[in-house]
Structure 1
């Protein structure tokens, strides 16, 4: 039985090594620096990388660089990611029914280390002089605070302290948050179950 097990392990390792050697020289395109959706991809935005076993992936081969450079990114591209055909072409960002907005968040009103991909609850509390602007909020919101769920797309430091956070949320929630004057607070929440 031990000899049979060793034979199976040896066979698997042999096939693995043969597959690695077969794909060892293959080069593909990767993202060198972040590219927002809709922005034209420059030559400096892509780089060539080696991928040991691209089986099952729709990666763009390095010799297709001319097909990528000069075209728009269909979705936001993150540095270090491998490029696939669906990421290049007419913008598909934000997805249908979604919107992207930027909100200014004062220091201390968002968790430290907030990064792209985080899920947050957006709370906009009107200042005392614009509490009338938040009249007739949706049923799940208090009369004084707008609430929306969103995903963080990007963050950057603001000149006056605090940060600017770019969010992806539904179109209606984006309009409600953007049209409500007041202070924005972000509460990071865990993944949906």
Structure 2
């Protein structure tokens, strides 16, 4: 039998014979079961590493709002979702294990979608906070930033074309800074109604001013 024929026969028998050194005449076998065993061992090592990394994960499951929650709203199971937060975080949160005790309770302050839930946000209504008021402002198209949502920091401007004292003088401007609590389409579909949390002293000025309302969204650092 020629050399190539002998190698073919070795493959048929399940072993590949590789010629050794010329002096010893030894042969080395590469067994298919050994290859499979080695591959399996590598896979086991990879899985063990993945499990070890997960075991070292110090994050804990807590509850967050799955959608925006309004004051007085009763929390449903679909209103909350579970997120993982670093165990070292100093943020006050509600553990995911307490989900059943959260469902059915009343929201005491507005909660933005995606915000972490805190025990203080559940219970009797405590809104608006002491020293602040909520004003609803009608805003025409083109005078409100696109995508404005609850939680945004804004400056509100009410501009009267006739001036503060009338008579066609320079335009009067009444302004205040605040936080958006709600944004929805106006009843007549001609614009948007924006509810803004402002200082109690600013609320009467803004609410009583007549003119065009403009809303400017501020950066997160303000």
Confirm or deny a common fold (TM above 0.5).
yes
Aligned equivalents of 1:63 and 1:98: distance in 2? Answer: 34
Partner of 2:56: 19
Superposed displacement of residue 103, structure 1: 0.5
Count of aligned positions = 168
Aligned equivalents of 2:119 and 2:148: distance in 1? Answer: 30
Match of 2:178 among 150, 164, 183: 150
- Secondary structure (helix, strand or coil) at the match of 2:56 reads helix
Root-mean-square deviation (CA), in Å?
A: 3.3
Partner of 2:198: 169
- Secondary structure (helix, strand or coil) at the match of 2:138 reads strand
Larger RCO, structures 1/2 (Cα 8 Å, 6+ apart): 1
Q: Of the two, which has the highest radius of gyration?
A: 2
Question: Does residue 42 of structure 1 match 2:72?
Answer: no
Q: Which runs of 5+ in 1 are unaligned?
A: 1-14, 134-141
Any conservation in 2 of the 1:19–1:53 contact (CA below 8 Å)? no
Partner of 1:138: none
Match of 1:51 among 68, 84, 90: 84
- Secondary structure (helix, strand or coil) at the match of 1:96 reads coil
Partner of 1:83: 117
Superposition TM-score, scaled by structure 2 size? 0.61
Partner of 1:110: 144
Match of 2:105 among 47, 71, 74: 71
Q: Structure 1 residues 32, 190: CA separation in 2 closer, same or farther (over 3 Å shift)? A: closer
Aligned equivalents of 1:192 and 1:27: distance in 2? Answer: 29
Aligned equivalents of 1:177 and 1:86: distance in 2? Answer: 30
Partner of 1:3: none
